[in-house]
Amino acid sequence: MPDANRQIVLDRLPGAEKLHPEHFRLVETAPPQPGDGEVLLRTRYISLDAANRAWMQGATYRSALESGQVMAGGALAEVVDSRAGHLKSGDLVWADTGWQDYAVLPAKRLSKLPDMQPETHLLSVYGVAGLTAYFGLLECGQPKAGDMVVVSAAAGSVGSIVGQIAKIKGCRVVGIAGGAEKGRWLTDELGFDGALDYKDPEFKRQLRGLGGVDVYFDNVGGDIFEACLFAMNNHGRIACCGALSQYDGAPPPHGPRGVPGLIVTKRLTLRGFVVMDFDDQREKALADLQGWVQSGQLKVSEDIVEGLENTPAALVGLLAGENRGKRMVKVR
């Protein structure tokens, strides 16, 4: 039987404040016991995502978080006790364990993940981040060879993969990220054609200097979304993946200018999506991603923080943009 179960509780909803580690507290409880049809899971790696913060704002594609609950979050977890036929001890699953050592969940929505080394790839390129990049770019963005593709939060888990897939598809790719160092990483390590620093006073001018954007993969919303809208070519596509700039603080009083005027005059298509919408095409996507990783065309970037107790600070850091690639917390 497991020892104690450490849990990180969302002690207080941040509301319009910036998220801070003190919004959380660590508690210890007895490990839970699985009932019939349930499994006891031990958390190995917790996935950190900007969406974690969005869940604190209200209902989105999932119900809003409440203060006092164990912080929600997806994780790579190991079955340690199974009361369900299709899972056995030692199996790895992807589950919303929350931020804790152990969780009991109904087994029926869980499925065994394939064996893979390193197993962290199940959380990055073969997990939500990789699939989000894949479907958002290819289904919503509809890139064609030669297109100018721009992606924001380009050094993040999704953006870093979006840009590389766009290169594989023969596009010209420019990433938007904060700071010159991230920009160099995008061009020198990941093969982006260019990078723009949104903190640079010349950012908008540089964006216009690209000569027209065919596909914009938006992870951030807000001012960067607006600037990209004005930089779009006629008949361009915008994949709306997230609105990172809007999650951590007060909601903006207004939206971006140019909506819907520029959507009409430039004949743009904007499409919002959530990765689950494409579950029926998952096998094909994973096969493509694996092929590209194995051939070296797609580099996997993981940013691993050690220790459950550091999860709050790791999320706060992610919201401030300190990660490169997929951030996760190694629990054990």
Residue where the block lists tokens 């051939």: 295
What burial class does residue 145 get, using C-beta atoms within 10 Å of its C-beta: 0-12 exposed, 13-18 middle, 19+ buried? exposed
Determine if the peptide bond prior to 118 is cis (ω within 30°).
Answer: yes
The pattern of x and - marking residues 179 through 218 that bind its own copies according to CB under 8 A reads: ---------------------------------------x
Q: How many CB atoms lie within 10 A of CB 310?
A: 15
Closer residue to its own copies, CB minimum distance, 60 or 89: 60
Question: Is 264 a binder of its own copies (CB under 8 A)?
Answer: yes
Q: Which amino acid is at 44?
A: R
| Chain centroid to CA 49 | 5
Binds its own copies (CB under 8 A): choice among 50, 122, 243, 308: 243
240 belongs to the binding site for its own copies (CB under 8 A): yes
Nearer to its own copies, 2 or 251 (CB): 251
Exactly one of 93, 110, 207, 270 binds its own copies (CB under 8 A); that residue is 270
Residue position matching structure tokens 């689950």: 276
- For its own copies, the binding residue among 15, 146, 170, 261 (CB under 8 A) is 261
265 binds its own copies (CB under 8 A): yes
Strand partners, 150: 174, 216
Residue 263, interface with its own copies (CB under 8 A)? yes
Q: Which stretch binds its own copies (CB under 8 A): 32-40, 143-151, 236-244, 292-300?
A: 236-244
Q: Which is nearer to its own copies, 106 or 261 (CB)?
A: 261
Of 26-34, 101-109, 243-251, 320-328: span binding its own copies (CB under 8 A): 243-251
User: Cβ of residue 251: shortest distance to its own copies, in angstroms?
Assistant: 8
SS3 306: strand
Tokens of 178: 């904060």
Is residue 225 involved in binding its own copies (CB under 8 A)?
Answer: yes
Shortest reach from residue 241's CB to its own copies, in Å: 7
Q: Which two tokens stand for residue 49?
A: 């995502």
Smallest gap, in angstroms, from Cβ of residue 58 to its own copies? 10
What φ, ψ does residue 28 adopt, rounded to 5°?
Answer: -125, 135
Cβ count near 323 (within 10 Å): 21
Residues 3-62 that bind its own copies (CB under 8 A): 60-61
10 Å CB burial of residue 294 (0-12, 13-18, 19+) is exposed
Q: Max CA-CA distance within the chain?
A: 64
Count CB-CB contacts under 10 A for residue 290. Answer: 16
Q: How far is the CB of 5 from its own copies (least distance, A)?
A: 32
274 binds its own copies (CB under 8 A): yes
Q: Does residue number 221 form part of the binding site for its own copies (CB under 8 A)?
A: yes
Give contact residues for its own copies (rule: CB under 8 A).
Answer: 60-61, 218, 221, 225-226, 238, 240-243, 246, 251-274, 277
